[in-house]
Structure 1
Amino acid sequence: MRIIVDERERGSRVPSHLRALGVRVLFKRLTVGDYILSSDCAVERKTARDFVNSVSSGRIFDQARRLAESYSRPTLIIEGDVRIAISTLRAGLRSFYGALAFLWMAYSVATFFSSSERETAELLYALVKHEQVEVKKRIVIREKPKLETLRERQLFVVQSFPGIGPKLADRLLRRFGSIKRIVNASPIELSLVEGLGRKKGFELVRFFEAKYD
């Protein structure tokens, strides 16, 4: 059995645990998902804290959409102590379960919970065994769907800004009318966008003005 793993997962111990279980790990730069198990199944792995942060920013919903557009069995693994992470959400459990419900109802994302990197590896092992041994599916990397329209490309660019999810990207573009005007806006002007706030406005300007190193 083999799993294609995103290069950014090298920092975790999950790949080494997979190797210990006898799985061949192939690292590649992936645009969709963190672990590719078959032509149908890709897995996004998030720590509990990262998941909560991505719910707040809206990033998880864009990731789920792209995962579902590329694979028929989009899967999410949330790793770590969920209770501590939930306490940082404004609406607590309601926001947490609301996000999970939306991911399932809108994108059919199956969600699993893991307490550690080792447990995540065990879960991935069970999933890849089903896909490649029991069902005998081949492994295929599916690239992110092509952005067809100018609007989609604009939204994609703005969503790449730190802390900006689909909703904020749409609000920014509607308020300023173009990416150029967003980048040239002052922190105060940015902070007037609903849901963005003064702190994030200043963070965006620092990001726009940061020197490339």
Structure 2
Amino acid sequence: MGDFLKGSKFYPLQIVIDDREPQAIVDQILDFKNIIVRKERLPIGDYLLDSDLLVERKSVPDFCASVKDGRLFKQVAKLANSNVRPCLILEGKEKEFRETGFKKKAIQGMIISISLVFKIPIVRSKSPKQTISIMLQSYRQLTKDSLEDFRFFPRLKPKFRKSDAYFKQKVHILEGFPGIGADKAERLLRHFGSLQNVFVSPESELVKVEGVGKIIAAQMKKLLGN
């Protein structure tokens, strides 16, 4: 965590992971120095990325088993009704489908139903490592952050106002809050106009700024003592 704690070069991403997910995957995510991980029981999905992306990870055996016992479409319905953008990652190789006894057309039918009826994108992955890469790439695409590398999340160069000699200092002050990088700090300042307006604004207003989700807004208000 050393590089992340310096707070000057890396964009912190917070991932909440369902406590039923394999520890091996959690350990791989922890290899990313700029990611904050919290484990808890999620009511929907398996991975919540910065309140911007909700991921349900299904291994091939679990996917097929959840079809048999009726869990799948109940879970998919909850994902579709979530306030966070959902995604389903189907993890496993082709041979695993054959081992479950499901016919290929049946699998395709279920995938089409989830994609078209529930409007939830399904992405295929061959391994946990690839699943993590897909999650990070999906988050990058969704939030439109200019990230060149999966391991490091370089922050955007702030475009300081020439008329505000203290704008850079104000950005640095906001960077002290968990989950706030230079780009989000600048967006907050440009949206609210001043530090005072940022600090007194309720969570419902803070989340209107691009990249500031419910978790980050709640942490800001908690640190401010409200």
Query: Where on the TM-score scale, by shorter chain, does this alignment land: which range?
Result: 0.5 to 0.7
Structure 1: gaps (5+ residues): 142-213
Deviation at 1:2, TM superposition (A): 1.4
Contact 2:80 2:86 (8 Å CA) reproduced: yes
Deviation at 1:130, TM superposition (A): 3.6
Q: Kindly provide the CA deviation profile for residues 147-178 of structure 1, in whole angstroms up to 9, marking residues without a partner as x.
A: xxxxxxxxxxxxxxxxxxxxxxxxxxxxxxxx
SS in 2 for 1:107: coil
Q: For 2:145 and 2:65, how far apart are their aligned partners in 1?
A: 36
**Structure 2 residue 30 is matched with structure 1 residue 19:** yes
The match for 2:211 is 137
The code of the aligned residue for 2:135 comes to L
**Structure 2 residue 125 is matched with structure 1 residue 114:** yes
Q: For 2:141 and 2:78, how far apart are their aligned partners in 1?
A: 23
Q: For 1:86 and 1:37, how far apart are their aligned partners in 2?
A: 32
Structure 2: gaps (5+ residues): 1-12, 147-209, 216-226
The match for 1:126 is 137
Distance 1:34 1:59, change over 3 A: same
Deviation at 1:88, TM superposition (A): 2.4
Runs ≥4 residues deviating over 4 A:
none
Q: Kindly provide the CA deviation profile for residues 105-158 of structure 1, in whole angstroms up to 9, marking residues without a partner as x.
A: 1211111111111111111222233445629523447xxxxxxxxxxxxxxxxx
Q: For 1:12 and 1:51, how far apart are their aligned partners in 2?
A: 20
Alignment of 1:171-190 (within 5 A): none
**Structure 2 residue 171 is matched with structure 1 residue 97:** no
Q: For 2:25 and 2:83, how far apart are their aligned partners in 1?
A: 22
Report how many aligned residue pairs link the two structures: 139
The match for 2:223 is none
Contact 1:40 1:71 (8 Å CA) reproduced: no
Q: For 2:18 and 2:94, how far apart are their aligned partners in 1?
A: 24
Deviation at 1:103, TM superposition (A): 0.5
SS in 1 for 2:15: strand
| Bigger helix share | 1
Q: For 2:58 and 2:145, how far apart are their aligned partners in 1?
A: 27
Q: For 1:117 and 1:99, how far apart are their aligned partners in 2?
A: 22
Q: Which has the larger radius of gyration?
A: 2
The match for 1:43 is 55
Q: CA RMSD in A?
A: 2.2
Contact 2:80 2:118 (8 Å CA) reproduced: yes
* TM-score for the superposition, normalised by structure 1: 0.58
The match for 2:18 is 6
Contact 1:41 1:71 (8 Å CA) reproduced: no
* TM-score for the superposition, normalised by structure 2: 0.55
Contact 1:103 1:109 (8 Å CA) reproduced: yes
